[in-house]
């Protein structure tokens, strides 16, 4: 659940539902050909990757989309912005036998997810390539787990991250139990394997086809294409605010980005550094100025889109003059529940069997953050050490920063006369007995309540006492680890580290 779902008024958070002017520019040859080019993605500032399938001409002179093999190409981007002639990738992603394409990159680790498809059946499977420490990627492997289902297609991966750093992979599949045609699903990646696959539901999917998802992690918005009723024609680009299977209803993006033909593979490559507002990116389309041999509707080309600079200035001025709009746009969209807060082993109050504590979570956080180097040193290999460092920097400290923003916003809502319920779940690692773990998870929730009560000199104290701010508590005890610990000491292993937490499940605003 998101805060914006509970607000009494409607404010669409995607900038592409605003009345902006977006310029869509057809990329020139040699990036585009009379064949089909799709899925342009910028890796850093120096490399552009995309997929291309060359045209073939039969005796009837018609383009045969099944006549070639799609491969991944890469182009160097010069400092002046010019893009060099593309070449087949040098990283070992391509297959001589199968189609290769639909690349998605994990922005944290730079690992790649992509698709390989049978040239006869066109059924696809999702592959994974781990980033090397220096240049390039390791040999691709088919992603393990239920994401690849025999007899059905799994394609168009898109990478996101949950607040506990878990990789969430959105993808497209025509597997059973969908809403019709191809739907968007998600799976979590744990221990290098996919977990249960979950349909995103009717707020995103329809009885038509949904394709090419892209998740804007900064703003919590999913972009995808669909040929559902009500569009401009063919596949149109839509967006939905949310995460996992909790979404606001999808809506079409600004009409100037969609055409009467197919518009697919929308992504964002450039953001405003101050506000996080999207400024530009890529899409693929077979609109009228795309290159082709004889059939004007056959072939997708690469296009670049960008925001009119005058609109960016107008929005900035408007945000300065409209009360609370900046707060709503910049803060609400970040509160993607659940929010996770983490603890050192047996904290607070080690060896206690009490269900309450006088310790504040802020004290627990300071103790935990001070142990960062110790945790890193306890890992058995470099990969786990790197992930542990990332966990401390992004999840332990980073998530606390998000809580600070949330509580500041809750204060403003209380000042406006709202009543609020915050729901918190507590967990422990399975080191001790069940009853001990249950009491420990309860103490962890109470430590967060103590922090709220003391926040900013007690700004929430009256609201807690008179019921305007209510904390719903759900202690759960121990969490069974999904993988075995690779640490020298299980207390310091990533499975236990991720289990010792509380989750702020959501805020209900009345």
Q: What is the DSSP string of 319-380?
A: HHHSTTHHHIIIIITT-BSPEEEE--TT-SSTT---S--S--HHHHHHHHHTTHHHHHHT-S
Give residue 499's pLDDT.
86
Q: Tell me the mean pLDDT in the region 153-173.
A: 92
Residue 263's pLDDT band (cuts 50, 70, 90): very high
Please answer whether residues 360 and 348 qualify as being in contact, where contact means their C-beta atoms are separated by less than 8 angstroms.
no
Q: Tell me the mean pLDDT in the region 83-111.
A: 90
Tokens 């200035």 belong to 313
Give residue 67's pLDDT.
56
Give residue 355's pLDDT.
94
Q: Between 348 and 312, whose confidence is greater?
A: 348
Q: Evaluate if residue 7 carries a pLDDT over 60.
A: no
Residue 333's pLDDT band (cuts 50, 70, 90): very low
Token readout for 102 is: 């639909």
- Which of 238-242, 330-334, 368-372 comes out lowest in average pLDDT? 330-334
CA distance 86 to 61: 26
Tokens 């790649």 belong to 112
- Which of 25-34, 200-209, 426-435 comes out lowest in average pLDDT? 426-435
Q: Evaluate if residue 138 carries a pLDDT over 50.
A: yes
Token readout for 126 is: 């999702």
Give residue 450's pLDDT.
95
Give residue 418's pLDDT.
86
Q: Between 141 and 89, whose confidence is greater?
A: 141
Give residue 295's pLDDT.
63
426, 415, 427, 368: which is closest to 396 by C-alpha? 368
For 287-314, the DSSP string reads: -TTS--SS-TTS--EEEEEEE-HHHHHH
Q: Are strands 246-247 and 236-243 parallel, antiparallel or unpaired?
A: antiparallel
Give Cα separations from 83 to 30, 31, 54, 108, 501 (angstroms).
10, 8, 20, 25, 47
Mean pLDDT in the chain? 82
Q: Tell me the mean pLDDT in the region 158-169.
A: 88
Give Cα separations from 317 to 110, 195, 307, 320, 510 (angstroms).
36, 46, 16, 5, 31
Please answer whether residues 70 and 100 qualify as being in contact, where contact means their C-beta atoms are separated by less than 8 angstroms.
yes
CA distance 110 to 130: 8
Tokens 């349909």 belong to 199
Length of the chain: 510
Give residue 74's pLDDT.
92
Q: Tell me the mean pLDDT in the region 225-244.
A: 89
Give residue 397's pLDDT.
80
Give residue 125's pLDDT.
97
Q: Give the other-Cβ count within 10 Å of 70's Cβ.
A: 26
Q: Is 495 exposed, middle or buried (0-12, 13-18, 19+ CB in 10 A)?
A: buried
Among 22-26, 225-229, 245-249, 486-490, name the most confident range.
Answer: 225-229
Q: Evaluate if residue 401 carries a pLDDT over 70.
A: yes
Q: Are strands 124-129 and 112-117 parallel, antiparallel or unpaired?
A: antiparallel
- Which of 145-149, 272-276, 484-488 comes out lowest in average pLDDT? 484-488
CA distance 240 to 13: 9
- Backbone φ and ψ for 482, nearest 5 degrees, come out as -85, -20
Q: Between 335 and 209, whose confidence is greater?
A: 209
């Amino acid at each position: 659940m998101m805060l914006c779902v509970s607000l009494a008024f409607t404010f669409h958070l995607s900038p592409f539902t605003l009345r902006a002017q977006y310029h869509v520019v057809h990329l020139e040859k040699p990036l585009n050909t009379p064949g089909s080019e799709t899925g342009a993605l910028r890796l850093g500032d120096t490399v552009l990757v995309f997929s291309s399938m060359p045209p073939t001409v039969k005796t009837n002179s018609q383009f045969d989309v099944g006549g070639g093999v799609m491969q991944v190409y890469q182009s160097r981007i010069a400092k002046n912005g010019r893009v060099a002639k593309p070449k087949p990738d040098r990283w070992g992603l391509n297959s001589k036998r199968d189609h290769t394409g639909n690349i998605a990159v994990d922005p944290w680790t730079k690992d790649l997810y992509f698709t390989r498809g049978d040239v006869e059946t066109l059924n696809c499977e999702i592959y994974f390539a781990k980033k090397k420490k220096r240049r390039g990627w390791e040999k691709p492997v088919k992603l393990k787990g239920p994401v690849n289902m025999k007899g059905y297609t799994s394609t168009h991966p898109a990478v996101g991250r949950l607040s506990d750093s878990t990789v969430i992979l959105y993808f497209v599949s025509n597997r059973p139990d969908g809403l019709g045609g191809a739907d968007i699903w998600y799976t979590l990646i744990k221990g290098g394997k996919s977990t249960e696959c979950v349909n995103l539901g009717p707020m995103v999917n329809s009885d038509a086809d949904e394709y090419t998802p892209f998740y804007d992690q900064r703003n919590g918005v999913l972009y995808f294409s669909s040929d559902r009723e009500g569009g401009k024609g063919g596949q149109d680009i839509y967006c939905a605010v949310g995460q996992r299977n909790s979404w606001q209803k999808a809506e079409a993006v600004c009409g100037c980005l969609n055409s009467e033909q197919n518009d697919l593979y929308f992504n964002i490559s450039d953001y405003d550094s101050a506000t996080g507002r999207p400024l530009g990116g890529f899409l693929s389309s077979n609109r009228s100025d795309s290159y082709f041999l004889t059939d004007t509707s056959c072939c997708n080309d690469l296009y670049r889109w960008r925001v009119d600079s005058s609109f960016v200035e107008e929005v900035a001025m408007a945000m300065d003059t409209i009360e609370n709009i900046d707060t709503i746009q910049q803060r609400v969209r970040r509160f993607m529940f659940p929010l996770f807060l983490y603890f050192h082993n047996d904290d607070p109050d080690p060896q206690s069997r009490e269900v309450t504590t006088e310790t504040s979570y802020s004290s627990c956080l300071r103790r935990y953050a001070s142990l960062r180097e110790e945790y890193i040193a306890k890992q058995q290999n470099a990969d786990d050490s790197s992930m542990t460092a990332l966990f401390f920097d992004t999840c332990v400290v980073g998530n606390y920063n998000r809580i600070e923003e949330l509580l500041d916003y809750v204060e403003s809502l209380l000042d406006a006369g709202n009543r609020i319920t915050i729901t918190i779940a507590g967990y422990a690692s399975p080191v001790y007995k069940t009853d001990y773990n249950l009491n420990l998870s309860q103490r962890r929730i109470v430590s967060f309540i103590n922090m709220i009560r003391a926040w900013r000199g007690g700004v929430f104290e009256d609201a807690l006492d008179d019921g305007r701010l209510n904390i719903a508590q759900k202690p759960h005890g121990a969490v069974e680890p999904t993988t075995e610990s690779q640490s020298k000491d299980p207390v310091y292993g990533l499975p236990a580290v991720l289990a010792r937490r509380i989750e702020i499940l959501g805020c209900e605003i009345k």
